Amino acid sequence: MLRRWQASRPSGLCAPQVNPHCAPAGDWPSNGSLRLLSFNIQVGISTQRYHHYLTRSWQHLLPHAGRAHNLQRIGDMLHDFDLVALQEVDGGSLRSGYVNQVEHLAHLGAFPYWYQQLNRNLGRLAQHSNGVLSRLRPSLLEDHPLPGPPGRGAILLRLGEGADAIAVVMMHLALGARARTRQLAYIRELIGGYRHQILMGDMNTHAHDLLQHSPLRELDLFAPQIEATFPSWQPQRCLDHILLSADLALERCEVLAQPISDHLPVAVQIRLPASLCDYTTPMLIRPMTGSPP
């Protein structure tokens, strides 16, 4: 099944972009603690009411003055994290003022590595993308268009080598249940050979559906976050997730009160298995934005 999808929607091995303003980083955090963030940024549009989908819809096509301010707010928040999954970012078109938002946020957050996955190319009008920002050097990076209607994608990032490597998949899944099931089956087959797994992104459904009624039910994953993430001004639905394999110990999880987009960001801090790291510095718990020290 995976091979048929790849034949019709080819994936590609790729290299992360390097931020020349940051020193190269290592494979693992020195204290064994990894901080993760997933955020659908809605291309820097600040949606605060349902009627804004209509009154601010022009911002999906044209530049506006507030977008740079919103990106700065996001960039300030990113300093607290090691690995960031971004959805609904623009790769550099008219509406973003020809700014690649993934690259821009990598500079604002001082990330050594970044990658933009272009999923829907509308030329000068829009460059619909996913993005990854990393303080760790990935040992593998793959770009995977997902099956179903065009315009959805997943990024596979591997940390470390061998049997103890961690597979991280960052995704933006379809709205429809049937297409989402096909996409999750693809992702399930993609990471099935890895012992340690992390799934991050806007999954457009609740954790119970993902873990109990989708192809992911075959994996030993758990969803630490149950708070709603959408809509950001009055959260009612939990659509954004960071799913973890059972051997990755949870240290902290929260939905950040940052209503910059129409989604709220999800933050997780985990303790890596001892076999993955050579702890050469004291184990420090680094607080997340908005949380007490």
For the sheet with 140-145, list strands across it. Answer: 12-13, 140-145, 153-159, 166-172, 196-202, 240-245, 221-222
Which residues are CB-contacts of 7 (< 8 A; sequence separation ≥ 6)? none
Range with lowest mean pLDDT among 20-29, 33-42, 108-117 = 20-29
Task: Render pLDDT for 33-70 as a digit per residue (tens, 0 to 9).
Answer: 999 999 999 988 876 645 445 556 545 655 687 789 99
What is the pLDDT confidence band of residue 293, given thresholds at 50, 70 and 90? very low
C-alpha dihedral sign at 45, 50, 56, 58: positive
Q: What is the dihedral of CA 208, 211, 212, 213, to 10 degrees?
A: 90
The answer to whether the beta carbons of residues 201 and 180 sit under 8 Å apart is: no
Radius of gyration for the chain, computed over Cα atoms and rounded to the nearest angstrom: 18
The answer to whether the beta carbons of residues 186 and 144 sit under 8 Å apart is: yes
Q: What is the pLDDT of residue 260?
A: 93
> What is the average pLDDT value for the chain, to the nearest integer?
86
pTM for this model (two decimals): 0.88
What is the pLDDT confidence band of residue 24, given thresholds at 50, 70 and 90? confident
Task: Render pLDDT for 174-223 as a digit per residue (tens, 0 to 9).
Answer: 999 999 999 999 999 999 999 999 999 999 999 999 999 999 999 989 99
Whether pLDDT at 1 is above 50:
no
Whether pLDDT at 283 is above 60:
no
* DSSP letter assigned to residue 151: S
Query: For the domain bounded by 2-276, which CATH number is listed?
Result: 3.60.10.10
Q: What is the pLDDT of residue 275?
A: 72
Closest C-alpha among 148, 245, 145 to residue 191: 245
End-to-end CA distance of the chain: 48
Task: Render pLDDT for 152-177 as a digit per residue (tens, 0 to 9).
Answer: 999 999 998 888 899 999 999 999 99
Percent of the chain with pLDDT over 70: 84
- Look-up: residue for tokens 């938002």? 101
Domain spans in the chain, listed from the N-terminal domain onward: 2-276
Whether pLDDT at 123 is above 50:
yes
